[in-house]
Amino acid sequence: MPSVSLSVRDYMSNRLATLNEKQDMREAVKIFTERNLFGGAVVDNLGNLVGILSVTDCIDVALHSGYNSGWRGTVGERMSRDIRTVDADDNILDVAKMFMEDHYRRYPVLDDNRVIGVITRLDVLKALRTIGESGVAV
């Protein structure tokens, strides 16, 4: 029977924007739209995760900014500080269960408390397909 990895690090994406709390919301929006991203990790000067900014957060700013007032605020004012993360060495099957129990669509992936990627529901589905096709019982 072939060996297949169950480690999150083997299925995560490293397509991730990193932002800082002082960045202007317009800059975050530009990054997300130009790179087709759904959010970004907000890190401190040491690279530690301090928040998450999502496209939904950006849409909220746009809707409440008014027609002429422009996009106001910083990433730090709009980011979510309540963050659920996974470790790069976590078992992908455990992460699949987390997605079934939570409303989150993606989790930042940490290695030594540093953001190294993101794992999405689709990434987990692809992993489950790979695992299933390998003959490993899930």
Q: Pick the closest to residue 8 from 97, 134, 137 (CA basis).
A: 97
Dihedral over Cα of 111, 115, 121, 126: its sign: negative
Instruction: Tokens for 115, please give them.
Output: 């953001």
The confidence score (pLDDT) of residue 2 equals 56
Mean pLDDT of 41-66: 88
What confidence tens digit (pLDDT) does each residue in 8-50 have? 999 999 988 999 999 999 999 999 999 999 899 999 998 899 9
What confidence tens digit (pLDDT) does each residue in 73-124 have? 899 999 999 999 999 999 999 999 999 999 888 999 999 888 999 999 999 9
Domains in the chain, ordered, with CATH? 8-134 (3.10.580.10)
CA dist 114 and 112 (Å) reads: 5
